[in-house]
Homo-oligomer: A and B are copies of this chain.
Amino acid sequence: MPEQTAYTPTGRTVPTRSRERASYDRAVVHSILDAAYVCHLGFIRDGAPVVLPTLYARVGEHLYVHGSTGSRPLRMAGQGDPGLAVCVTVTHVDGLVLARSAFHHSINYRSVVVQGIAHPVTDPEEKRVSLDALVDHVVPGRSADSRPANAKELASTAVLRLDLAEVSAKCRAGGPGDEPEDLGLPHWTGVVPVRQAYGALVPADDLADGIAVPEYLARFPGPDSS
């Protein structure tokens, strides 16, 4: 059966507001997820919500997050058979939308919300692949140019897998949406574009002489992004 082009909306993934901004398109969701590397991971601890920033990577229809085996969410996910109920949210800010009215000020953004149950990765091969993906998701090509984790490091790292099933994207783009009666007001109106930018590489203090900047870093993160 061919892969479906969209995620199936559920009661939890249909927003109550601004439904026209929602998307379940698989390609849209993947592009938003693949363009970032820090997510906000939500879970419940002692009956209260907790949100922590953490690295993630997508491999096919799975999201992986990792951390020390001692960290709270990774410990909690490994303790119960049913896994850990989580919400993983990824957000790009693309612009500040300055309307003539305070009310219509907004943000241009692309976000993805994934809800589901996170399970610890126990298969050694899946763990290796997911850890490489976590490194390569931040800097493509980097995992092959670093020392792989040894047995002790692997044992102290926990990886959680979350299936991409209950997923929605939400995006806003374009200019302000002022009321018709405000169009004559004298305030400047438009968008301030926002992007993630990367600075010049800072070599480590103890970097040995003669180690050149590798090709994948020299052109990082691509010609249009710096």
A interface residues with partner B (beta carbon < 8 Å):
12, 16-17, 37-38, 40-53, 55, 67-68, 70-72, 75, 85-89, 91, 93, 95-96, 98-103, 105, 107, 109, 111, 113, 115, 131-132, 135, 138-139, 142-143, 145-150, 153, 157, 175-176, 182-208, 211-214, 217, 220
Contacts and interface: CB of A to CB of B under 8 A. Distances in A.
A67 B207 contact: no
Contacts of A201: 190-192
B53 A111 contact: yes
28 contacts: A16-B70, A17-B71, A38-B91, A40-B40, A40-B42, A44-B48, A48-B87, A50-B87, A51-B89, A96-B139, A98-B217, A102-B147, A103-B149, A105-B135, A107-B138, A188-B203, A188-B213, A188-B214, A188-B217, A189-B204, A190-B202, A191-B204, A193-B198, A193-B199, A193-B202, A195-B197, A195-B199, A197-B197
B190 A148 contact: no
Contact of A202 (B91, B149, B191, B200): B191
Nearest to A184: B208
Q: Which of A102, A132, A143, A194 has the most CB of B within 10 A?
A: A102
B51 A17 contact: no
Given A42-B49, A190-B203, A143 B102 contact: yes
Nearest to A147: B101
